[in-house]
Amino acid sequence: MPGGRARARPPSRAAGGFTAYLVFVVGVGAIAGFLYGYDTGIISGALLSIREEFGLDHRMQEMTAASILVGAIGGALAGGWLTERIGRRWTVTALAVVYVLGALASSLAPNAWLLIGARVILGLAVGASSQAVPVYVAELAPAAHRGRCVTMFNVAIGLGILSANLIASEFRDAWSWRWMIGAAILPATLLCAATAFLPESPRWLVGRDRTDAARRQLARVRPEGADIDAEIGEIERVVEAERSAPVRGWRGLGQSWLHPAVVAALGVAAFTQITGIEMMVYYAPTLLTGVGIDHATALRSTLWLGLVYAVMTAVGLVVVDRVGRRSLSLWMLPGAAVSLFVLGGLLFFELAGGERAWPVLLCLLAYMFFNAGGIQVVGWLTGSEMYPLSVRAAGTSAQATMVWGSNLVVTASALTLVHSLGTGATMALYGLMNVLAFLFVLRFVPETAGRSLEQIEHSLRDGTFRP
């Protein structure tokens, strides 16, 4: 009823005050995260076979691995526009279709150049999902559980990478690289089907003067007895303030009162990549074989790396709302830096490698423990929280573009750095990036845990958004 409390059917409860329907929504978002992780991670194991079949040198290997990132940048830029024009729900549906088509085209590519082109298309879905899904989930989740809900996307990325490593390691003799890449068609089809049952974001609906629809959708993802009217009222007040803002969208990001959020969010986005995580995801088998470790051991080692990534993002899911985004990053980044410095020293002075592989593997696992359990947990979360509604689509597009642009730089230069500087010096360089990430978070990133999106916006406008 207009102006009254929505009389939706009482939603069933789930653990921790979640409704079953909210769990479903978070689960659908997690499928998109799984595809992100699988489609980017499978190239790590498949690249060894692709290199042999197509006779690729190290530059063509970099292009094959990085091609998905070129598409991801385009998808990240388009994602913000789509979420504003057609809504969050239909954007997720569209990217699900692209996931299916991109995986199919990649698995059927007859040569390296067509494989690169197909992975660019696949990257469009990866980039758009990294922008759209965290925002969508953040706008539906209650403030007290928003960190956990959005971080499920990160956990699913880890599971996708782990699954890719498992298939590359254990099915390397039974499956060709085409079957490895094509396996993503199954979860992508499931994502397509599941999007038919998703709600639209209440914040997007209020922005289109569809308040009654927003109230109904919000009631579906809140426990029985929740004060829906109060939450809708808070959203309406923010929307009204945004409508009176002199500039919105991409131009709005240049407003001086937003600078603290833009700096903090984009800085965290860049450091999620330049601290070296994608170097490990894409090139770990190549690096390990380069220091004398046999192919089978190298592939199984990346399986352990994927397992640690998945476990630590899951641990982050549990603690991120309690410990806080800022604190979690500050506790974990020093460990990642030390792990890479030790690894760099071992390789530079030729103290490990070949039959003495265990120190190298131990350092890699330690790095993954600290990096995946820290800044990777909060990377997408901070971007979905810090931007006000009037610039949220543009801000999260900028966030995703920064992630994929940084990822592209790392991926397209990693093997070249190894050839130019050596593996040991390259690892030490990434260790330095983790030190810089620590200093950046310490100086520029405030805590956002436990605060509603509207409260975060108020602190930006009041000039109190600071560490």
pLDDT tens-digit series, residues 336-351 = 999 999 999 998 888 8
Q: SS3 of 198, please?
A: coil
Distance, CA of 382 to CA of 403 (rounded, Å): 12
pLDDT over threshold 80, residue 7: no
The proportion of the chain whose per-residue pLDDT surpasses 70, expressed as a percent, equals 94
pLDDT of residue 14: 39
Quick one: average pLDDT of 279-303?
75
Of 175-179, 209-213, 308-312, 395-399, the range with the lowest mean pLDDT is 395-399
pLDDT over threshold 90, residue 437: yes
pLDDT over threshold 70, residue 10: no
Reported pTM = 0.74
pLDDT of residue 245: 64
pLDDT over threshold 90, residue 298: no
pLDDT of residue 412: 80
pLDDT of residue 354: 62
CATH number of the domain bearing residue 434 = 1.20.1250.20
pLDDT over threshold 70, residue 13: no
Quick one: average pLDDT of 438-459?
86
Distance, CA of 189 to CA of 101 (rounded, Å): 10
Distance, CA of 32 to CA of 125 (rounded, Å): 9
Quick one: average pLDDT of 252-275?
89
Distance, CA of 122 to CA of 224 (rounded, Å): 40
Highest-confidence segment of 112-116, 134-138, 170-174: 112-116
Q: Hunting for tokens 């809140």 — which residue is that?
A: 222
pLDDT over threshold 70, residue 114: yes
What are the CA-CA distances from residue 464 to residues 117, 280, 430, 455 (Å)? 46, 38, 33, 11
Quick one: average pLDDT of 148-174?
84
Quick one: average pLDDT of 174-197?
94
Residue 275 belongs to a domain: yes
pLDDT of residue 463: 84
Quick one: average pLDDT of 438-466?
86
pLDDT band for position 161 (50/70/90)? Answer: confident
pLDDT of residue 340: 95
Cβ–Cβ < 8 Å for 33, 191: no
pLDDT over threshold 90, residue 283: no
406 burial level (CB within 10 Å; 0-12, 13-18, 19+): buried
Distance, CA of 282 to CA of 46 (rounded, Å): 10
Residue 7 belongs to a domain: no
pLDDT over threshold 50, residue 191: yes
pLDDT over threshold 80, residue 293: no
pLDDT band for position 289 (50/70/90)? Answer: confident
Distance, CA of 188 to CA of 193 (rounded, Å): 9
Q: What angle do CA 281, 284, 286 make, to 5 degrees?
A: 130
Residue 3 belongs to a domain: no
Cβ–Cβ < 8 Å for 38, 186: no
Residue 467 belongs to a domain: no
pLDDT band for position 2 (50/70/90)? Answer: very low
Q: Hunting for tokens 């997720």 — which residue is that?
A: 92
pLDDT over threshold 70, residue 165: yes
pLDDT over threshold 90, residue 169: no
As given in the structure block, the two tokens for residue 200 are 């639209």
Quick one: average pLDDT of 18-41?
91
Quick one: average pLDDT of 238-255?
75
The residue with greater pLDDT, 60 or 246, is 60
Residue 213 belongs to a domain: no
> What is the residue-averaged pLDDT of the chain?
85
pLDDT of residue 11: 37
pLDDT of residue 17: 52
What pairs with residue 353 in β-bridges? 356
**How many domains are contained in the chain?**
1
Residue 220 belongs to a domain: no
Distance, CA of 417 to CA of 343 (rounded, Å): 16
pLDDT of residue 444: 93
Residue 140 belongs to a domain: yes
pLDDT of residue 358: 81
The residue with greater pLDDT, 230 or 278, is 230
Domain residues for the domain of 329 are 15-198+245-462
Quick one: average pLDDT of 344-364?
81
Furthest CA-CA distance within the chain:
73
246 burial level (CB within 10 Å; 0-12, 13-18, 19+): exposed
Residue 230 belongs to a domain: no
The residue with greater pLDDT, 400 or 374, is 374
The residue with greater pLDDT, 116 or 169, is 116
The residue with greater pLDDT, 388 or 439, is 439
